[in-house]
A = this chain, B = another copy of it.
Amino acid sequence: MKKPRVAIIMGSKSDLETMQEAAKILEKFKVSYEMRVLSAHRTPNDVAKFAESAKNNNIKVIIAGAGGAAALAGVIAAHTTLPVIGVPIETKSLKGLDSLLSTVQMPSGIPVASMAIGSSGAKNAAIFALEILATADKSLSKKLERFKKDLAREVRKISVIKK
């Protein structure tokens, strides 16, 4: 069985519905991944251990989704030089503005790549992870180009509503 190349981490089980959008994309592209709940605030040592060993475990890209004071992506980035993609989860009161600012406003030196709030962000996190892998994988690069063409084709099919 192939070792996972992408890790999808989320801060809470309640983020699963959103983060599964990322998993679906990776499955569609047949890229192996693992998916875990790890909390920067409730299991910080597990986060550190995961992040520090990820590179040696063959992980190439980490996707991290969290809401509110969303420290998860940043804390993972603190423990690895692998690219970390953050997904700000929508929240009940502030609708994910808190999650977005907590994810994106990283200090210089420790980047996190933030996607959009919510499930679009989760889906795009996976596509972005594929784009990273594709920088060294021509076959994946071709697949992504086809995927992009398919997106365009779908839009074109329904393009003319009234002429």
A125→B110 CA distance, assembly (Å): 10
In angstroms, how far is the closest chain B Cβ from the Cβ of A88? 8
Chain B residues whose C-beta falls within 8 Å of the C-beta of A93 in the assembled complex:
90, 95-97, 117-118
Residue of B nearest to A113 (CB): B113
A144→B55 CA distance, assembly (Å): 13
Chain B residues whose C-beta falls within 8 Å of the C-beta of A106 in the assembled complex:
41, 68-69, 115-116, 120, 124
Residue of B nearest to A23 (CB): B162
Q: Report A27-43 CB contacts with B as 1/0, cut-off 8 Å.
A: 00000011111111111
Chain B residues whose C-beta falls within 8 Å of the C-beta of A70 in the assembled complex:
102
Partner of A71, one of B71, B90, B119, B123: B71
Number of interface residues of A (CB under 8 A): 96
Which residue among A21, A60, A74 has the maximum number of chain B CB atoms within 10 Å of its CB? A74
Q: Is the pair B41, A81 in contact by a Cβ cutoff of 8 Å? A: no
- How many copies of this kind of chain does the complex include? 8
Tell me whether chain A's interface is mostly helix, strand or loop, or mixed.
mixed
Q: Is the pair A155, B39 in contact by a Cβ cutoff of 8 Å? A: yes
Partner of A77, one of B41, B95, B102, B120: B41
Partner of A97, one of B101, B108, B115, B161: B101
Chain B residues whose C-beta falls within 8 Å of the C-beta of A101 in the assembled complex:
69, 94, 97-98, 101-102
Q: List 21 A-B contacts (CB under 8 A).
A: A36-B159, A39-B107, A40-B74, A41-B77, A41-B106, A42-B109, A42-B155, A61-B135, A68-B116, A68-B120, A81-B141, A81-B145, A93-B117, A94-B97, A98-B101, A100-B104, A104-B115, A106-B116, A108-B124, A109-B127, A109-B151
